[in-house]
Chain A
Amino acid sequence: MIGLAPDAKPRLARGVRLHEDKARGGHVLLGPERVLQANGTAVEVLKLCDGERSFDMIVDELANRFATERARIASDAEAMLRDLAAKRIVEL
């Protein structure tokens, strides 16, 4: 199983782009033979996955911005990033 340490610095894998879809609205993740719709929360998480911020910092920033319970954001973000990592879309 892929671990997700607090100091992991997630980033989009090379060959994956978060793209603003002007024709249809919203954002999509573009990868090899993949177009994934990214919902509002996912977009906010992914925008912070720049390979520099740690997972802890990302969660802090989101908890602060959305005034939501930190533990909940951490568990949602971790589940999403683990799922995307298994698909080789995010690197942890």
Chain B
Amino acid sequence: MSIAPPLGLLAELTHRCPLACPYCSNPLDLERRSGELDTATWIRVFEEAAALGVLQLHLSGGEPAARADLVELTRGAARAGLYTNLITSGIGLDGARLEALAGAGLDHVQLSVQHVRAEEADLIAGFAGAHARKRGVARELVELGLPLTINAVIHRANIAAVDELVREAVDLGARRIEVAHSQYYGWALKNRAALLPSAAQVAETRATVERLSAELLGAIVIDYVAPDYFARFPKPCMNGWGRRSMNVTPSGRVLPCHAAETIPGLTFWSVRERPLAAIWRESPAFNAFRGSEWMREPCRSCPRKEIDFGGCRCQAFAITGDPRNADPACAYAPAHGSMDAAVAAAQASAGAFAYRRYTRSGERVPAAAAES
């Protein structure tokens, strides 16, 4: 089988992050600093990625600014010819560092925001003062001429503020905003009962985004990410497993998506041991769900199997216990009812957050309550 090269690579430079957002899609078992790849290895990975056909590099985390070598890594990626996108909370970036990043060839910054009001934003982020610092970073970025996208992950604690979030993004000088409903992986799945909105709230958000897209045409681009718990068909997760993109963890394991390690039995190869091209083409984890041979019914005979690729393997595993099953987001999936049940159960929940934190080695994450 001939395997087309990937278009994108998400580099999780570190799992360290000053914020503790409960909607984070990082794994519960966060990787530690001692295991992180060094500068030279990351730059080799970027060069191999460009040679393989990757066009866009997403420098992510955790908080990528927690890496002292972020400017050097950015320069290495830009030299390799990659389009470099920094996905950041803004914490750890000041004017001087942003200027150095721009000089290193950074193409674009995606800055997360949690809410339009400081008190609520800081409560979601689990970090006092985050809201104000992010606004400062946005202003510095725009002043430097770096193109800015605001990323707003939407959930029950901020869904009523979507209109204001979009207008604030325009005021901040962003060219683009992602109004992205939380996807339920990692910490977000753990916090699902506190985060899932109601069907009525989702319908209203969709209408708000449609109205604002027309009203603000030419001023800002709004990219809307729908919540698949309310969908009839699943999202074409990752545009198909091992089809378009790859993800490198802080310690160098290469994953078909950032949640893939939740699926038991998959073997992931590391950039420490193998070239990226060989991993893309031959690693058992990438080949596990490529194409459609692995599918069961109702996916196998479904006319949409080349459109949504059976949805998300990680979600199929998380909810049904088997990654080969249809994604329960699909109306044809036998487990589809469990999505409605999760939404109903969430509406009855009090909504306390389990904040994203490191836990001591070997310890299970306790169900922490929100500080409010």
A interface residues, Cβ below 8 angstroms from B: 2, 13-17, 19, 21-24, 28, 30-33, 35, 85-88
Q: Which residues of B contact A17 (CB under 8 A)?
A: 83, 107
Q: Which residues of B contact A31 (CB under 8 A)?
A: 108
- Other contacts beyond A33-B176, A85-B218: 12, CB < 8 A: A13-B147, A13-B175, A14-B146, A15-B146, A17-B83, A23-B52, A30-B83, A32-B85, A32-B175, A32-B176, A86-B218, A88-B221
The answer for the CA separation of A21 and B220 in the assembled complex, in Å, is 28
B interface residues, Cβ below 8 angstroms from A: 5, 7, 52-53, 55-56, 81, 83, 85, 107-108, 110, 145-147, 149, 175-176, 178, 217-218, 220-221, 223
A35 pairs with B7, CB closer than 8 A: yes
B52 pairs with A30, CB closer than 8 A: no
Which of A17, A19, A30: most chain B Cβ within 10 A? A30
Q: A23-B53, A30-B83 in contact; A15/B7 too (CB < 8 A)?
A: no
The answer for the CA separation of A15 and B105 in the assembled complex, in Å, is 10
Q: What residue in chain A is nearest B145 (Cβ atoms)?
A: A14
Q: A15-B107, A85-B218 in contact; A32/B147 too (CB < 8 A)?
A: yes
Q: Which residues of A contact B52 (CB under 8 A)?
A: 23
A32 pairs with B110, CB closer than 8 A: yes
Q: Which residues of A contact B85 (CB under 8 A)?
A: 32-33
The answer for the CA separation of A19 and B83 in the assembled complex, in Å, is 9
Q: Which residues of B contact A21 (CB under 8 A)?
A: 53, 55
Give me 29 A-to-B residue pairs in the complex whose CB atoms sit less than 8 angstroms apart, sorted by A's number.
A13-B147, A14-B145, A15-B146, A15-B147, A15-B175, A17-B83, A19-B83, A21-B53, A23-B5, A23-B52, A23-B53, A24-B53, A30-B56, A30-B83, A30-B107, A31-B108, A32-B85, A32-B110, A32-B149, A33-B85, A33-B223, A35-B7, A35-B56, A85-B218, A86-B218, A87-B221, A88-B176, A88-B220, A88-B221
